Structure 1
């Protein structure tokens, strides 16, 4: 008659199993000796846990190590069919989708513009389903980065008002897995925090200029979203002589500046910035005003939060704006010193941040399913 495992044994097995799975996710295929060195577990413990993980389809052989001296050692890796997470970056023009595996590697990618005849969730779901056709394994979780205010329960508030979580619920219903909605600038800040210009900083504010201006606030190594998700909506920070609620910097604001300086108000922002780089005086005047507004927003944040640095992302990382912001900051330095850095990822920052979050969420989901299976498999053999 099989006896139930004692509590401490089950807990130890769970911890050891998760340690090995996390190590394989982080490092890729490894030998038993590698796993012993990485986890601090004994050879016996590693061998036992690997045997159990292989029995539930969590790991699989991955060739042999012929680079070290002595007999060739077998390698193991996470099973290639553990499943995937989808990362979605939504902007005003379209959606960009990637599938990642538990290691964070991108396994498939699709993007498409929004059209008047296709609903947003339908387009995104179609892109994800197309990606899934090129891989083998289930979809476990979706991370979607969107513009607008995102509350803790995944509801979005944008120019059309609050959606009450309708977007998230529709994605989950269509795809049959949990979906997490994040503000796109917060995802970009996570990218900078993890592996970008903010990796060595305890606090910073990412100022990302795209269709509008948003901030990703990092305090003590964590993104600060605020009580209702409104933290970082700096496009509406009051600036004289603008009325309360007027945008400080956006596509519409740049269009007005272009009109005032005799340039095409329908031209994209980057076209004006490129013209400024080529010496166009009207475009340079526009860039100077954009930089003034950016710097005043940064100064407002500095007086409240005092971050170590500000990271310029999106169109704010254009060399013309970077130089113009530096000049504005120099003028303020005696009264309010501020340090400005440039994003490591440019327009891809929200997607990069989403990939890191999706890989972590996927590992948590898959490993939580696998470790109980390991325990049940061990109990049957007891």
Structure 2
């Protein structure tokens, strides 16, 4: 007779505890009955786990539920003094910081103009410190979204060249926690995959236009960063008559197109898009050319990756730009069928992606610490760092 599988009792308690912590992180304060429904655990198991977690200051009472029928029931939530994480977006003009708790709730936020490159780490650390004055707990993790090439080891390669990982090392030293540096378009793609228009797609490529054109590709639910982080630098794809190595879409290209079409080359792309929407023929000619280039990029990506759809972000999601893209795609539809959909989050996609990544990393770090044998939570000895 085959014996049933069995494991140590501590492993079962750990699995049950993790299930309850994840449910509280994803759903917020819950009653014991609601936790039973979320986890499938018995009332006895839920009660035992909550007793251990409460003893370790991992969860706390969150008031009484008086809205449901029957006797009032106490809700529990993650302890408000568990650690928090920072989500940072550094674009070409400004820096944006959000502090989040394990539920993904933003507890504090701050924006500031982009300063000097050599002072970037100090500026970000100062912004996080200012936000932390209103957020209890300890900073556990930071996710920083940056334009340019980001290697898997956190080295940034931008207009100033490779930094050898100096920025990440400096920020980790200032913050005293692990710092995860990611490409801004890749994080925007993760946001679309998790809760945007890419959620129901098996594969997609996000094409985002800010100062330039960048791409982020999700295949089978996984973001493809590439071996050295170069995946997505599609604005350098060869395209006649543009010389090899020259960007297809960036600020200089917009200036040149504006000049050749009798518009002010000092105006940013957003101004030309608004003029196009208002019926300006010269602006329409500019956008048509940019759309043609983007569609040819999409065609090149399709011949290699063949994604289910292309998600358009940044300026590419502007109604005037989107309409021009659809016309350009129709012109080559006899060769390739390309599907385009606008981003669900617009220009906020990168920060949403950074918040999502920071939340997942924070939960993993906090919950692993709570449930590890060294922490002592299973014997009621764990206490959160204040």
**Which bin holds the TM-score, normalised by the shorter protein?**
over 0.9
Cα RMSD of the aligned pairs, angstroms, is 1.6
Cα 1:331–1:78 shift into 2, 3 Å: same
Equivalent residue, structure 1, for 2:305: 305
By how many angstroms is 1:179 displaced? 0.4
1:3 corresponding residue in structure 2: none
TM-score, normalising length: structure 1: 0.96
After TM superposition, the structure 1 = structure 2 runs for residues 6-155 of structure 1, keeping only pairs within 5 Å, are 8-116=8-116, 119-155=119-155
TM-score by length of 2: 0.95
Answer yes or no: is the 8 Å Cα contact 1:13–1:375 preserved in 2: no
1:227-274, Cα deviation, whole Å (9 max, x unpaired): 111111101011001111100101111111111112111111110111
Aligned-pair distance for 1:125?
Answer: 0.9
Task: Work out the CA distance in 1 between the residues paired with 2:11 and 2:324.
Answer: 57
- 2:54 & 2:379 partners in 1: Cα distance? 16
Alignment partners' CA distance in 1, 2:273 and 2:10: 61
Following TM superposition, by how much is the alpha carbon of 1:377 offset from its aligned partner in structure 2, in angstroms? 4.7
Residue number in structure 1 paired with 2:199: 199
Q: Secondary structure at the match of 1:119?
A: helix
Separation in 2, partners of 1:368, 1:113: 37
Matches of 1:163 and 1:9 in 2, distance apart? 49
For residues 315 and 298 of structure 1, the distance between their equivalents in structure 2, rounded to whole angstroms, comes to 16
Partner in structure 2 of residue 175 of structure 1: 175
Distance in 2 (CA, whole Å) between partners of 1:277 and 1:358 is 37
On the 8 A contact 2:149/2:229 being kept in 1, the answer is: yes
Q: Is the 2:52–2:380 contact (alpha carbons within 8 Å) kept by the matching residues of 1?
A: no
What runs of 5+ residues in structure 1 fail to find an aligned partner?
1-5
Q: Deviations over 1:277-298 (max 9, x none)?
A: 1121111110110000010001
Work out the CA distance in 1 between the residues paired with 2:89 and 2:380.
Answer: 45
Contact 1:56 1:374 in 2 (8 A): no
Measure how far apart 1:213 and its partner are: 0.3
Report the CA distance between 1:193 and its aligned residue.
0.6
How far the C-alpha of 1:378 sits from its partner, in A, is 4.0
Q: CA deviation at 1:101?
A: 0.6
> How much has 1:136 moved relative to structure 2?
1.2
Which residue of the partner structure matches residue 314 of structure 2?
314
Alignment partners' CA distance in 1, 2:297 and 2:375:
54
Residue 133 of structure 1 deviates from its aligned partner by 0.8
Q: What aligned pairs does 1:189-228 form with structure 2 within 5 A after superposition?
A: 189-228=189-228
In structure 1, the residue corresponding to 2:75 is in which secondary structure? Answer: strand
Is the contact made by 2:87 and 2:99 (CA closer than 8 Å) also made in structure 1? yes
Equivalent pair of 1:52/1:374 in contact (CA under 8 Å): no
Task: Decide whether aligned partners of structure 1 residues 377 and 309 sit closer, same or farther in structure 2, where only a CA change above 3 A counts.
Answer: closer
Partner of 2:232: 232
C-alpha distance in 2 between matches for 1:35 and 1:116: 49
Alignment match, 1:275: 275
Find the residue that maps to 2:218 and give its secondary structure. Answer: strand
Show the counterpart of 2:158: 158
Structure 2, unaligned stretches of length 5 or more? 1-5, 382-386
> 2-side partners of 1:297 and 1:376: how far apart?
54
CA contact (8 A) 2:99 2:135 kept: no
Q: CA deviation at 1:118?
A: 7.4
- Shifted more, 176-185 versus 8-17: the winner is 8-17
Q: Is the 8 A contact 1:53 1:374 kept in 2?
A: no
Aligned position for 1:370: 370
Instruction: Report Cα offsets for 1:285-318 as digits up to 9, x if no partner.
Output: 1011000001000110011111110011000011
| Closer/same/farther in 2, CA of residues 17 and 52 from structure 1, 3 Å limit | same
Q: How big is each residue's C-alpha offset from its partner over 1:27-67, in whole Å with a ceiling of 9 and x where there is no partner?
A: 11111111111111111111111111111111001111112
**Secondary structure in 1 aligned to 2:256?**
helix
- Give the drift of 1:116: 4.2
- SS at 2:8 equivalent: helix
Q: CA deviation at 1:380?
A: 7.5
Q: Structure 2 CA distance, aligned partners of 1:220 and 1:43?
A: 37
SS in structure 2 opposite 1:192? helix
Distance between the aligned counterparts of 1:378 and 1:167, measured in 2?
Answer: 39
The aligned residue for residue 260 of structure 1 is: 260
SS state at 2:298 partner: helix
Distance 1:172 1:7, change over 3 A: farther
Displacement of 1:69? 2.2
Counterpart residue number, 2:3: none
Measured in 2, the distance between the counterparts of 1:220 and 1:70 equals 45
Aligned: 1:243 with 2:233? no
Contact 1:94/1:113 (<8 A) preserved? yes
